[in-house]
Amino acid sequence: MTSSLIARFPMRRLFSPLSQSFSPLPSSSLHSSPFSVTPSLSFSSLPSQPLSSSPSPLSLLTPNKHSSLLSIPPLSPLLAFPSRFSSSSSSSDGVVLDITSQNINGVMQEKGVLVLYCTAEWCGPCKKLGPKLEEDVRALPGVRLGKIDIDKEQQLAGAMRIQSIPAVFAFNDGKLINSFVGVPPDEKYQEFLAGLREHTAAETSETGINAEQMLKEADENLESGNVEEAAKIYSEVFGNYDSKDDDLFGALSLSGLIQCIIKQGEVEAAKTLVSNLKSKYKGCLEHPSVHAALSSFDLMSSTSSSSHTIEELEAVVSENPNKMEEKFELAKLYFASNRPEESIKTLIDMVKRDKHWQENAAKEQLLKIFEVLGPTHALTISGRQKLTSVWF
């Protein structure tokens, strides 16, 4: 950080306009806590912790979208992952952050809209405002909420000259844009949220990203086998999207990245992305492209523990075509080895011999393969026709 936060927004100005813009409801006084104000402290005197990154493919989502890059072996060039799931602060999802004197400078360096919320366990009004504020911030694409516990972070709260709580400050690209103390009337609170929306909309306009077009381009690259280029585009969309379709674009770009990693044989690395996809984008899991990525992961991960080779299984089923367990494992290995046509052929043969084996396992596996290949793929079209003819 080239200048201290105190220089970027003089703290003496933080509270002077509040009574003019909001009519706070009664708030808890800091005099009722052991908290002590240290007005002379500036952010520049607080220790700073830079963003860290790990080379492990299981921590892909650590970097900031404007800084670090991580390699996903064997993919190259490097893929960028923004801080939508984690950050330099301790956080479960990258949207709600626990702010400390050690990470405040790193968090403030990140681009975008940040809401700082000063609170404490003993504060009654905080219990009313906190959950609502967190819920509303989560509904705003690209906005993060940083929570400061003033009892745990007395030095930081002193630097901000916090006099009463709850206290809320909104920043865009590190610059103060709005603030209030106490629990404001609903009308004023909605005005505050509207201001956050305006800034996120302006940021989207400035980036000029056309997520829909970029996703289409990435899909085409993936389908044609240009995995590296597809991964670069998916990563760019994931790192920059901000729109009313925020969740869908996030889910689609993350799904595309999962497909790219799987195609490179990095099934273990894909586990982290799949976990985050399921937890953050629950409302998008039934979208065809998202569901296809999850099915692809299921298909590939189911073969990771196989103790046989394709050649060994081919020899077994050649000698005894009714060895259904071995034939099913062979079909999965075919698909994992990028031999979908042979996989489909093997599964169709299983349906012919015993279509209800293991509760229609062969049919269900075929449907997953068709979903991953896509409805217009030649193997999907011919495979569905063959399945229909032998099933009915």
Show which residues are catalytic: 123, 126
Print burial letters for 30-56: b (CB count within 10 Å at least 16), e (below 16). Answer: beebebebeeebebeebebeebebeee
Task: Report the alpha-carbon distance of residue 363 to residue 368 in Å, rounded.
Answer: 9
Task: Report the alpha-carbon distance of residue 154 to residue 160 in Å, rounded.
Answer: 10
* Amino acid letter for position 339: R
- Degrees to nearest 5, angle at CA 46 with 41 and 48: 160
| Start-to-end C-alpha separation, the chain | 68
Task: Please give the backbone phi and psi of residue 324, each rounded to the nearest 5 degrees, phi first.
Answer: -70, -40
User: Which residue from 199, 362, 212 is spatially nearest to 289, judged by alpha carbons?
Assistant: 212
CB 292 within 8 A of CB 274: no
Alpha carbon of residue 263 to chain centroid? 21
How many other CB atoms are found less than 10 A from the CB of residue 382?
12
Radius of gyration of the chain from its Cα atoms, rounded to whole angstroms: 26
Task: Report the alpha-carbon distance of residue 135 to residue 93 in Å, rounded.
Answer: 13
Alpha carbon of residue 33 to chain centroid? 37
Task: Report the alpha-carbon distance of residue 361 to residue 367 in Å, rounded.
Answer: 10
- Specify the pairing of strand 28-29 against strand 167-172: unpaired
* Cβ within 8 Å of residue 382, ≥6 positions away: none
Helix (H, G, I), strand (E, B), or coil: what is residue 185? coil
User: Which residue from 41, 43, 36 is spatially nearest to 6, judged by alpha carbons?
Assistant: 43
DSSP conformation class of 266: -
Cα–Cα distance list, 195 to 172, 175, 180, 202 (Å) = 11, 14, 13, 11
